[in-house]
Amino acid sequence: MREDYGFTQDQIDIQLMTRDFIRKELPWERIKECDEKSETPMDIVKKAAEMGLTSITLPESIGGGGMGEVTNSLVLEEIAYQDIGFATVIGANGLAYTPINLFGTQEQKEMFGKYIVDGGLAAFALTEADAGSDVANARTTAVKEGDEWVINGTKAFITNGGLADVYVVFAVTTPGGGTRGMSCFIVERNRPGISIGAEEDKLGIRLSNTTEVVFDNVRVPDDHLVGKEGQGFKIAMMTFDITRPAGVGAACCGAMKSCIDKCLEYAATRMTFGQPILQNQSIQFMIADMEIQYEASRALAYKAASMIDDGNINGAISSASKTMSSDALVKIAEDAIQIFGGNGYSKEYPIEIIYRNAKIGQLFEGTNQVQRMVIVKNLLKAAGMM
């Protein structure tokens, strides 16, 4: 990646440290092995935690890195250059902690953060089988009994679901209350009644553990309620406004750059009709278009991250970053397959993994169709039309 956009020396040092670490510890051979097994390389997660990469955005006061979203974006971009699935594992900690950082008490921040700082994983448990982009349709419930909440329901497609030590769980506390009927809770993995359901056998991001998480009469004390009762939907949406630029936007940029580098290297050595295919103008134009999409996506991702670090959280900009980067990655990965030809379709080359990984960016943290709805809604508000 290029060291530009006005990054500080500390940010560049972290970027280069992450680059050296991930390319050494997660080479292509290990990625291929874990992809085939649908396995998260926990030994590398442990090393990343020891370096502070899994707690980069947590406050220094509780042992975290105290870094903002620009630095987080640099870290996830570098990790995703190797594998966007592994970047998803690491980025999920920041996703899960963000609701606590936004609305939690100091005690909650310290309690939740300790799991991560000590090297554990966290999970953001919002999605259900019938409540993906339509999160207000969630059926997991939390019922108040004395000074406890009793949680029942099944969450689906949960990143780190089977590996997490702690969850942030969204549950309906006022049935029929719509977006104001959901609340947010901290739930430790070791509480009775929690079990791990089916693990997803996914098309891509197979280095990322994705499972159902089942809550059967799980009791948590009242002090595990994050924010106020009924604020869950608001907390979830504000969280995504913060996490989309790094967790999706910048991560997709890392995978794009990986495609571009691999295409340049391959096209410079692959011979047809007595010359490297890179000499063909059609190939040059494809790679040029890749670079254009990468640079534009990266500029938007870091604009969004910078705005967040400045305290200017703009949902439309975050959605635009997520949408543009993920759409661009799908196109770039598809073109990379074309440049590699039959070899790109073979599992002996890394391009097919990047291609399979790419699609998820258009789906998680809200589909790109929903992001476009968010953008238009913001435009209408700004124009005084709603």
pLDDT-based confidence at 320, cuts 50/70/90? very high
**Distance (Å, rounded) from C-alpha 204 to C-alpha 206?**
5
Residues 377 and 239 in one domain: yes
Buried b (16+ CB within 10 A) or exposed e, 300-330: bbbbbbbbbbeeebebbbbbbbbbbbbbbbb
Residues 310 and 189 in one domain: no
The answer as to whether 23 is a domain residue is: yes
User: What's the CATH code of the domain at 93?
Assistant: 1.10.540.10
**Distance (Å, rounded) from C-alpha 364 to C-alpha 361?**
6
pLDDT-based confidence at 1, cuts 50/70/90? very low
Domain boundary pick from 101, 120, 139: 120
Region 308-322: what's the mean pLDDT?
96
Please tell me the pTM assigned to this model. Answer: 0.96
**Distance (Å, rounded) from C-alpha 67 to C-alpha 246?**
13
Region 345-350: what's the mean pLDDT?
96
**Distance (Å, rounded) from C-alpha 253 to C-alpha 265?**
18
3-state DSSP of 246-286 = HHHHHHHHHHHHHHHHHHHHHHHHCEECCEEHHHCHHHHHH
The answer as to whether 172 is a domain residue is: yes
The answer as to whether 4 is a domain residue is: no
pLDDT at 341 over 80: yes
Please choose, from the candidates 52, 45, 92, the residue with its C-alpha nearest in 3D space to the C-alpha of residue 71: 52
The answer as to whether 3 is a domain residue is: no
pLDDT-based confidence at 136, cuts 50/70/90? confident
Residues 240 and 353 in one domain: yes
Domain boundary pick from 120, 151, 175: 120
Higher pLDDT, 132 or 229: 229
Residues 167 and 257 in one domain: no
Residues 181 and 259 in one domain: no
The answer as to whether 140 is a domain residue is: yes
User: What's the CATH code of the domain at 370?
Assistant: 1.20.140.10
Quick: pLDDT tens for 56-69: 999 999 999 999 99
Residues 183 and 295 in one domain: no
| Residue at 354: amino acid letter | I
The answer as to whether 1 is a domain residue is: no
pLDDT-based confidence at 4, cuts 50/70/90? low
The answer as to whether 2 is a domain residue is: no
Residues 215 and 244 in one domain: no
Residues 103 and 157 in one domain: no
Quick: pLDDT tens for 272-294: 999 999 999 999 999 999 999 99
The values of phi and psi at residue 59, to 5°, are -60, 145
pLDDT-based confidence at 135, cuts 50/70/90? confident
User: What's the CATH code of the domain at 171?
Assistant: 2.40.110.10
The answer as to whether 60 is a domain residue is: yes
pLDDT at 2 over 80: no
For the record, the structure tokens of 265 come out as 């290297």
Average pLDDT in the chain? 96
Quick: pLDDT tens for 185-236: 999 999 999 999 999 999 999 999 999 999 999 999 999 999 999 999 999 9
Structural domain boundaries, residue 318: 234-382
Residues 130 and 190 in one domain: yes
Residues 240 and 376 in one domain: yes
Residues 245 and 359 in one domain: yes
Proportion of the chain in helix, strand, coil states, percent, rounded to 5: 60, 15, 25
Quick: pLDDT tens for 72-99: 999 999 999 999 999 999 999 999 999 9
Residues known to be catalytic: 365
> Which residues, listed in sequence order, are joined to residue 150 by a DSSP beta bridge?
143, 219
Other CB atoms within 10 Å distance of the CB of residue 272: 10
pLDDT at 379 over 50: yes
Region 153-165: what's the mean pLDDT?
98
pLDDT at 3 over 70: no
pLDDT-based confidence at 133, cuts 50/70/90? confident
**Domains of the chain: total:** 3
Question: Of the given ranges (36-50, 131-145, 250-264), which has the lowest mean pLDDT?
Answer: 131-145
Domain boundary pick from 232, 258, 281: 232
Residues 112 and 206 in one domain: no
pLDDT at residue 243, as a whole number: 97
The values of phi and psi at residue 161, to 5°, are -55, -45
